[in-house]
Amino acid sequence: MPGAPRARHMSRERLAAFPRARLLGCSALGNCRMENVCFSARDGVLIPNTSSTTPPTVREFDRVAGPGLRLTPPYAARIFPRKAFNALTNAFLLEGETFASNCWRQGFLSSNPAHFMAGYGKVFVAALDTHVPRGLSTLIFQSCGHRARAEWEWGREVWSLIEAKANESGLLPPAGVDVVTLGTTWGGSWHQKWPSQGDLVVCARHVTAERNSVATYLGRNHPDIVAEWQRHVQRQLPESSESRTSVPSAVSSEAGIAASPLSDRSSRKTPTATPSTACASCLNSLRIAIFYREEGSALRRFRNLAGVRAVAARYSAGRVSMVTITSRTNFATQVRTFRSFDILITCHGSHLGNMLFAPHAVFVELQATRADTSPASNGARFTAGWILSRGHVPVIPQPLRDGCPPRINCELAAQIAPCWGGGCNTRGLFLQSDLLVDLNRLDAALKQAVVMRCQHAGVLCPLSPPIPLWVDRPVNLSLGACNSGVNHTSRPQ
C-alpha cells in the first residue's frame, strides 16, 4: 500500500472528475512518460474513460510498440469503462513522480528469476536513463512477486544490487520511496478481466514505464546497460582470484545513458592469430560442467548422461563436473557455482537466471526443438556465448533403474520437425521432458562453444572439420518410425 503522504484515497467524486490520460513521449531506451493512468494486479495500463473530453484511444497509447506491432496484453493499454471505474472503492491517487514495471502475470509469492528480472531489472535501466526523473516518490511493480520475501534470498539479493544503483544514480531519494507490489494468488483468465469493485487500483499523476520488453532482463538489453550491470556486479560481488572474468567497457553517454566514471576496459579481448600452443593451452584449461536438476515438477534429465560426460571430456582434458542449485541454495553459492565453469551443458530452467553473474562463460542449452528462446536471447548479451542445441529426443519421465532403457515419447518426438521454427502449442511439454541427447549434435555444439570461449579470452582457436550443416536441421522422426524403433540419432536426410 502506498504511503499516506504521497497517496490519497479517491472518493466517487474524485473518480468521476479524473482528468484525461496522456502519453507524453518515450526515451531512446523505451521509457515512456504518461499522465493520469492506473494500474492493478490485472493486465494492462488502465486508461480511465471518465473525462468530459474525448478519451484517448488504445492505438494512441500503444504506438510505442512501433508500426504494425502490438504490445503483449499485460503491457497494453486498456480503456477502463466509466461505470466500472467510478464504482471502485479501493482506488488511490499517487502524487509526485512514479515508475511502473510489470513482471508478466506473476503472483505475489512468485520466485521465478526470469520474470523477476523482466520487471525489477527495468529499475536498473531507469537508473541509467537520464530521461527518467530523479527522486521518485513511488515504485509500482505490477503482476510481480514481492522483492523482499524472507524465503527467497535470490530475489532479495538481486534487488539489493538494483536498488544500490538506483540510490547511487539519484533515481531513488535518500528519504526512501514508497513501493506498491500488485501481485496476486490467482491464475487462469483472472488477469484478463477488469478490476473488480474492491480490487486495489493505483493511479498516478506522472508515471514512467517501459512497456515493450517482455522476456529480457534489463529492458531492451542495450549493450551499454548490460556492460554497466556487469561492472556493477563486479564491484558489489568481487570475484575470487581464480576467476577468469574480466570487466566490460565503460558505458557511453549516447541515447541518454548516464556515463560511467570507470576507465574503459574491455571484456572481450580482440583475438589475433596465435600459435597452436596458445590454442592448446586454452583447450587444456577449459572447465566444463553439466547441470542437473534436483527439484521442480520435472527434472529434465539427460537420460544418456554417461555419453554426455564422455563427449564433454574431449574438450576439457577429461575434467567434467556436475553442478546443481535449487531454490534453497543460498545466493552466494549460486553465484559461486556459475563462476566455476567456462562452458555449461544445461537443460532449460529458471536456474539460467544466474547467467547474470557469468559473463565469462558459454552456455550450451539442450532442447528437443525451439520451445523457448528467452534464455538464449538474454544469453547473447550477458555471456561469452549461448548455443541453443536442438534435435534431442524427448523421453517419457520414469524412475532411473538399472536395466530400464529410456522410452521415447513418440507423440512428442513426431512434433520436433513441425515445431523446429518455434510457435508450437506443445512447447510446455517439450520443456518438461527428459532428453535422450543426440551425441553428434552435442559434439558439434561443444566445438562451437570452445571457439567462443577461447575467442572471449583472446585466442583464435578454430576447430576442424567445420560444423556440419545437418546440425541445424530437424530429425524427421515420424510417429510410425518412432514406434518401430528407428535409430533416434540418425542424421536428417
- Tell me: the pLDDT tens digits for 299-343? 999 999 999 999 999 998 878 999 999 988 999 999 999 999 999
Residue 317 contacts residue 283 (beta carbons within 8 Å): yes
How far apart are the C-alpha atoms of 46 and 194, rounded to whole Å?
9
Confidence class for position 253, pLDDT limits 50, 70, 90? very low
How far apart are the C-alpha atoms of 483 and 467, rounded to whole Å?
30
Confidence class for position 7, pLDDT limits 50, 70, 90? confident
Domain layout of the chain by residue ranges:
4-210, 223-256, 279-483
pLDDT score for 260: 40
- Judged by average pLDDT, the poorest of 5-14, 25-34, 287-296 is 5-14
Query: Which alpha helices (H) appear in 383-478, and where do they start and end?
Result: 410-413, 427-432, 439-456
How far apart are the C-alpha atoms of 77 and 58, rounded to whole Å?
5
What is the chain's length? 493
Whole-model pTM: value is 0.89
* 3-class state of residue 39 by DSSP: strand
Confidence class for position 378, pLDDT limits 50, 70, 90? very high
* CA distance from start to end of the chain: 61
The average confidence (pLDDT) of the chain is 86
pLDDT score for 21: 92
pLDDT at 457 over 70: yes
* 3-class state of residue 177 by DSSP: coil
Q: Tell which phi-psi region holds residue 255, choosing left (phi > 0), alpha (psi between -120 and 50) or beta.
A: left
Confidence class for position 482, pLDDT limits 50, 70, 90? confident
Whole-angstrom CA distances from 85 to 9, 19, 134, 255 are: 14, 13, 31, 38
pLDDT score for 240: 55
pLDDT score for 252: 35
Question: At the top level of CATH, which class does the domain 279-483 belong to?
Answer: alpha beta
Q: How far is CA 485 from the centre of its chain?
A: 38
pLDDT score for 481: 58
Mention every residue, 6+ apart, whose C-beta is less than 8 A from residue 386.
Answer: 362, 363, 365, 375, 376, 379, 380
pLDDT score for 407: 87
- Per DSSP (E only), the strands in 81-145 are 91-102, 138-142
Mention every residue, 6+ apart, whose C-beta is less than 8 A from residue 488.
Answer: 393, 408, 413, 436, 438, 475, 477, 482
pLDDT, one tens digit per residue, over 185-227 is: 666 678 889 999 999 999 999 999 999 999 999 999 999 999 9
pLDDT score for 239: 77
How far apart are the C-alpha atoms of 354 and 473, rounded to whole Å?
30
Write out the DSSP string of 190-219: GGGSPPPTTS-EEEEEEEEEE-S-SS-SST
Task: Please state whether the peptide bond connecting residue 465 to the residue before it is cis, i.e. omega within 30 degrees of 0.
Answer: yes
